Amino acid sequence: MGDLGAGFEQLVKGQRWVAAHGRSYGLGLLPGLLTLVLYAAALTSLALWGSELVGWATPFADDWSSPWQGLFRGLLTVVLFALALLLSVLTFTAVTLLVGQPFYEKLSERVDRSVSPDGLAPESGLPLLRELWISARDSLRILLRAGLWGVLLFACGFVPVAGQTVVPVVGIFVTGFFLTEELTAIALQRRGVELRERLALLRSHKRLVWGFGAPLAATFLVPFVAVFLMPGAVAGATLLARRLLGEESGEAEAVRAGAAGAARAEVAGGEWRSGG
């Protein structure tokens, strides 16, 4: 429970940090509010017309007798909305971070300066457009991975008993991992940590990552909560990134070397399996 608790501690510290810095918190709310309006409109449309969409997609059930047609299409409508809700949680952070990149970048820098002994924050030195391109590219790659997990969990949801008990719990942890990757990417990109290296770093500290991301993913399922927690989540992810890289203990170089080695090993393993 140690690493799980430590991960959750970083999340709480982030929320406390923004609570003590009202101006940073206010700026951090704007991108989330805009994204929330877009997602709410999409989910509301699905709730209103989801049954019509399911009916259009299942013409083979038009001749089914009652009550089987209604039960079948009703179940598919519920599952479709649940999948859309899961994908909303998986993608909300990525879209919000992309929309609010300049805001969250500044917020993350302020957190770094406030806890750094020398009062300085790492800087990427890249132009804003280049940073936005890298962020969008990496977010798309993560969303594809998350989407594959979403489809797999969606399919497993039809398994009796396990689909209604085990699968939702697994979904929270999977979502938490990808949320943490998206959030820590802000601080890690400024330190020049590439996507593959970031993933290797997070995988080597799964319990710490789950401790941070799983509670966040669970709370993000509650309507509107994600918007108000996002600034604190960015601040907490910055603190988590410092811990993952060993900056708190002065072991940053060793940690970076280990993550880079793991990333190279992953690439080599993929090339070997593909015969490259």
> Which of 37-46, 172-181, 250-259 has the lowest average pLDDT?
250-259
Exposure letters 165-178 (e unless 16+ CB within 10 A, then b) = eebeeebbebbbbb
Is there a contact between 198 and 185 (Cβ–Cβ < 8 Å)?
Answer: yes
Q: Is residue 276 part of a domain?
A: no
CA dihedral 204, 207, 208, 210 (to 10 degrees): 110
For the chain, how many structural domains are there in total?
1
Q: What is the DSSP letter of 60?
A: G
Average pLDDT, the chain: 81
Report how far residue 28's alpha carbon sits from residue 23's, in angstroms, rounded to the nearest whole number. 9
Report how far residue 75's alpha carbon sits from residue 83's, in angstroms, rounded to the nearest whole number. 12
Question: Among residues 249, 130, 253, 248, which one has the least CA distance to residue 191?
Answer: 253
Q: Is residue 177 part of a domain?
A: yes
pLDDT in tens, 71-83: 887 888 888 888 7
CA distances from 130 to 126, 135, 144, 261 (A): 6, 9, 21, 26
pLDDT in tens, 207-246: 999 999 999 989 887 767 888 898 999 999 999 999 999 8
Question: Among residues 89, 94, 242, which one has the least CA distance to residue 174?
Answer: 89
Q: Is residue 189 part of a domain?
A: yes
Residue 273, pLDDT above cutoff 60: no
Quote the domain boundaries for residue 48.
2-268
Q: What is the DSSP letter of 204?
A: T
**pLDDT-based confidence at 61, cuts 50/70/90?**
confident
Report how far residue 166's alpha carbon sits from residue 153's, in angstroms, rounded to the nearest whole number. 10
Q: Is residue 273 part of a domain?
A: no
Residue 143, pLDDT above cutoff 80: no
**Count of residues for the chain?**
276
Is there a contact between 187 and 108 (Cβ–Cβ < 8 Å)?
Answer: yes
Q: Is residue 13 part of a domain?
A: yes
Mean pLDDT of the region 156-163: 78
Task: Tell the burial category of 274 from Cβ atoms under 10 Å away from its Cβ (0-12, 13-18, 19+).
Answer: exposed
Token pair for 179: 């949320």
195 Cβ contact list (under 8 Å, min separation 6):
138, 141, 142, 185
Q: Is residue 274 part of a domain?
A: no
pLDDT in tens, 166-185: 888 888 899 899 889 989 99
Q: Is residue 275 part of a domain?
A: no
Helices (H) and strands (E) in the chain, counts: 10, 0
pTM reported for the whole predicted model: 0.72
Report how far residue 110's alpha carbon sits from residue 238's, in angstroms, rounded to the nearest whole number. 10
**pLDDT-based confidence at 151, cuts 50/70/90?**
confident
Residue in the structure block whose two tokens are 């072991």: 251
